[in-house]
Amino acid sequence: MKIQPAPEIHDVVIIGSGAAGGMAAWNLTRQGARVVLLDAGTRFNSARYWSHVRPWEWRQREARGLHPPEFYLSAKEQPYFTPPNQPFELIRVWGRGGKTNVWGRVSLRYSDLNLTEPARDGWEIPWPIRYSDLAPYYDKVEQLIGVNGGTDDQPWLPGSRFHQPPPNPRCGEYLIRRAAHQSGVNIVAGRRAVLTRQLGNHPPCHYCGGCGRGCDIGAFFNSSDYLLEPALLTNRLTILDNAVAARILVDDQGLASGVQYFGRADKQERVIRAKRVVVAASCVDSTRILLNSRSPRYPNGIGNSSDVIGRYLCEQIRFHMYAFLPELMGGPTHNDDGISGEHIYMPRFDPPAGAKKDYLRGYGMQFWGFGAQEGASFSKQLPGFGADLKQAIKKRYPALVALHPYGEVLPRATNRITVEGTPKDAYGVPLARIEYSIGDNERKMAEAMYSTCEEILHNANAEILPYQRGSLDVSGGAIHEHGTCRMGDDPKRSALNKYCQSHEVKNLFVVDGAAFPTSTEKNPTLTILANAWRATDYMAGRMKAGDV
């Protein structure tokens, strides 16, 4: 008989390498922990990005048989299921850095008002942390990754003295700011994780507008270049690529003891042992892993005696309005690329005190797509054809503005991810089913969102492209999933404590957006980074003390 060597037991295994997993790996290794990170994909090769390829060159390249990097995970490889008439668009990137390779880089601090709102309006559980818990981490994250923006403090949007200078606004952005101002709506410098100044060995942005295709010079934060690479330099990080985590294993004491995973290429099952497990596979994938981690001890999924894991999925409602500004129509075309996407932001806007507000929570607004774009698809909505149409398009091309409000969706127990009775993936692991719908609160909020957009555009005397009042993007489109493994002080109503540590399984941490009790109206990644740093600081402290 061959004697098997005892398997190595690592200090920590982390699942996922996006914003959350990258931060956990960086922070834990720098504090001395030996970490193994499982990532479902591989490193994207930025030297091969098509950052600067223009549409006609794109075609020429494809005709030569070349392909741009494929960031997005195909739902053919990893399907998920939704009930009829309840579509949910789940957008995933598997690979080192996850969705941060292509994210929109909007980096907003949550305000204390966001975090205390559930306690004020009584809808579901409050956040167990306050702004003062996050603020020092926001400061540190902004310095680490480079966020440009204003120093201005808004009630719903804290400023920061660590922001790099924001890029100059475009013509349309100034004009929309003025139009909003007329209605008492405040528009401020955006806050975005794009370098306007050199940061360490990361060069500043050169304003090519190619971010959506990946930045070939790494001038915006992505977890792979900014967190994993420095962590690898410590020699305490091992990354296992193409390692698709399936289940968290438990020992006799009910503690997490490792992870079962499958090779994405060879489909072989493997096990890795560790003293602590950090889950950071992005909200939906993390939740699926937790729910699939069933054992006699945890028949409902690891750490899920409370039955809250999988529930309270919350995202944001969103729509888009497009219009043309009279001041810019027929004017010269400028290079409007900038840092790609908006240079401004509308912090959450509530009706003034005393005015009607018939919904809970609120909405903010983004403004990507101003001015000269790499196409003119708006023209399909202009009437007619011929020389008149061609003229009408040219006249409007420099004058395009686009309003994209994001509204908070309330957490509800019935909006949930489950894995019971679903088909299995290629490795035999049950896939996720997502049941998600919005309610009256969101429909009322959408009315207010439409009214605000209309008012701003009317103030601007803008020509608005046809739209259908009340229509919303397919759920999931905001790509800000939260809530399905939430933190809270009450173990009956939450899965994690305020340090993202499982109430039940003390060596298990979940550090991505799944831990957030509410979705807020904001983009979450800056807060995911700050919170993962905070949680892993706590974890490192407990490790040193010998409690986990």
Partner 1 sequence: MKTRRDALRVLTASVALPILPVSAAPPAAATGALSPEELAVLARLSDLIIPRTDTPGAADAGVPALIDAAASKKQALASELREGIASLGGSDFLKLAPDEQTAALTRLASTPGGFFQTLKDHVIDAYYSTREGLVTELGYQGSVPLASFPGCTHPEHQRLD
Ligand X SMILES: Cc1cc2nc3c(=O)[nH]c(=O)nc-3n(C[C@H](O)[C@H](O)[C@H](O)COP(=O)(O)OP(=O)(O)OC[C@H]3O[C@@H](n4cnc5c(N)ncnc54)[C@H](O)[C@@H]3O)c2cc1C
Task: Give which of 109, 525, 104, 105 is closest to 348, Cα–Cα.
Answer: 109
Smallest gap, in angstroms, from Cβ of residue 116 to ligand SF4? Answer: 34
When binding is defined by CB under 8 A, the residue of 327, 454, 455, 537 that contacts partner 1 is 327
Q: What are phi and psi of 127, to 5 degrees?
A: -65, 140
Q: Is position 417 an interface residue for ligand SF4 (rule: CB under 6 A)?
A: no
Among partner 1, ligand SF4, ligand X, none, what binds residue 47 when CB lies within 5 to 8 Å by partner kind? none
**Number of Cβ within a 10 Å radius of residue 2:** 4
User: CB–CB of 20/528 below 8 Å?
Assistant: yes
d(CA 144, CA 49): 24
DSSP state of 101: G
340 near ligand X, judged by CB under 6 A: no
Q: Note whether 329 binds partner 1 by CB under 8 A.
A: no
Choices 294-302, 421-429, 523-531, 534-542; region in contact with partner 1 by CB under 8 A: 421-429
CB of 321 to ligand SF4, least distance (A): 25
Q: Which is nearer to partner 1, 354 or 421 (CB)?
A: 421
Question: Which span (268-276, 286-294, 367-375, 443-451) binds partner 1, by CB under 8 A?
Answer: 367-375
Long-range pairs, 252-255, Cβ under 8 A, ≥24: 254/297, 254/298, 254/504, 254/505, 255/505, 255/506, 255/507, 255/508
Q: How far is the CB of 106 from partner 1 (least distance, A)?
A: 15
At its nearest, how many Å lie between ligand X and the CB of residue 359?
23
Site for ligand SF4 in 353-382 (CB under 6 A): none
Query: Which one, of 278, 277, 297, 301, lies nearest residue 289 by Cα?
Result: 301
Binding of ligand X at residue 172 (CB under 6 A)? no
Figure out which of the listed residues 124, 336, 408, 442 binds partner 1, where binding follows CB under 8 A: 336
Single out the residue of 113, 376, 392, 464 in contact with partner 1 (rule: CB under 8 A).
Answer: 376
> Residues with Cβ < 8 Å from 241, sequence gap 6 or more?
39, 41, 42, 43, 96
Which of residues 209 and 411 has its CB atom nearest to ligand SF4 in the complex? 209
Closest approach of Cβ 20 to ligand X, in Å?
Answer: 4
Contact status, residue 348 vs residue 157, Cβ threshold 8 Å: yes
**What contacts 173, CB < 8 A, 6 or more positions away?**
187, 342, 343, 344, 367, 370
450 vs 276: CA distance, rounded Å:
47
Q: Which of 27, 100, 494, 501 binds ligand X (CB under 6 A)?
A: 100
Residue pair 102/93 in contact (Cβ under 8 Å)? The answer is yes
Length of the chain: 548
User: Whole-angstrom Cα distance, residue 104 to residue 296?
Assistant: 42
Q: From the list ligand X, partner 1, ligand SF4, none, which binds 369 (C-beta under 5 to 8 Å, kind-based)?
A: partner 1
Q: Please report whether residue 121 would count as binding partner 1 according to CB under 8 A.
A: no
- Pairing mode, if any, of strands 508-510 and 269-279? parallel
Q: In the set 334, 443, 492, 544, which binds partner 1 (CB under 8 A)?
A: 334
Q: Is residue 382 a contact point for ligand X (CB under 6 A)?
A: no
Q: State how far Cα 424 lies from the chain centre.
A: 26
Residue 477 touching ligand X (CB under 6 A): no
3-class DSSP state for residue 515? Answer: helix
Number of chain residues interacting with ligand X (CB under 6 A): 38
Under the criterion CB under 6 A, does residue 220 sit at the interface with ligand SF4? yes
Residue 211 or 228 having the CB closest to ligand SF4? 211
Rule CB under 6 A: say whether 20 interacts with ligand X: yes
Cα–Cα distance, 197 to 163 (Å, whole number):
10
Residue 285 interaction partner, one of ligand X, partner 1, ligand SF4, none, beta carbon < 5-8 Å per kind: ligand X
Nearest to residue 346, comparing CAs of 325, 323, 363, 326?
Answer: 363
DSSP 359: S
Q: Which of partner 1, ligand X, ligand SF4, none has residue 21 at its interface (CB below 5 to 8 Å by kind)?
A: ligand X
Residue 109 makes contact with ligand X by CB under 6 A? no
- The correct pick among 96, 105, 170, 503 for binding partner 1 (CB under 8 A) is 170
**323 belongs to the binding site for ligand SF4 (CB under 6 A):** no
Residue from 61, 206, 270, 444 binding ligand SF4 (CB under 6 A): 206
Whether residue 392 contacts residue 192, with contact meaning beta carbons closer than 8 Å, is answered with no
Binding site residues, ligand X, CB under 6 A = 15-21, 38-41, 91, 93-95, 98-100, 102-106, 243-245, 280-282, 285, 289, 479, 512-513, 523-525, 528
Binding site residues, ligand SF4, CB under 6 A = 51, 194, 205-211, 215, 217, 219-220, 339-340
